[in-house]
A = this chain, B = another copy of it.
């Protein structure tokens, strides 16, 4: 895709897709939220080729979703930690997961629980202003300029 055009677009979705528009990046972010930080952890979890993983980690780091940190001087070893922008991507992953659970839900699926009160998490997107679920009320789109 032509990233130049898309990221300069007035659409916030298109802008996000500069890096989030491929499956590996989203799966890496998923694993990062699950606590993975190291190259080999990601590689083994995803079964991704190391060339791909190197590139994707570099992009996610450049784009500010991950941060490279040296965790050992001898030998020199790096790990990848979520930044604030990376952590704030979690709602996106949960909504993708919610859709998958509803429409691709056959067989056993991973489940997520609120660690404090033990209830299963049911992620929904709402408009914070009206409290209504996204998609239940008519939307008006306003272009800039």
In the bound complex, residues from chain B placing their C-beta under 8 Å from that of A128 are 122-124
Question: Which of A36-44, A70-78, A131-139 is near enough to bind chain B?
Answer: A131-139
Evaluate contact between B139 and A109: CB separation under 8 angstroms: no
Bound state CA distance, A93 and B17, in angstroms? Answer: 11
Bound state CA distance, A140 and B111, in angstroms? Answer: 8
Which one of B2, B117, B125, B130 lies within 8 Å of A91 (CB-CB)?
B125
Shortest Cβ gap from A36 to chain B (Å): 12
Bound state CA distance, A103 and B35, in angstroms? Answer: 23
Bound state CA distance, A123 and B135, in angstroms? Answer: 11
Which one of B20, B108, B133 lies within 8 Å of A96 (CB-CB)?
B20
Evaluate contact between B135 and A12: CB separation under 8 angstroms: no
Evaluate contact between B26 and A23: CB separation under 8 angstroms: no
Evaluate contact between A134 and B12: CB separation under 8 angstroms: no
Interface string of A20-51 (1 = CB under 8 A from B): 11111011001000100000000000010000
Bound state CA distance, A91 and B16, in angstroms? Answer: 15
Interface string of A93-112 (1 = CB under 8 A from B): 11111111111110111111
Known: A64-B103, A111-B142, A121-B129. 6 other contacts (CB 8 A): A85-B99, A88-B99, A90-B135, A114-B129, A125-B125, A126-B126
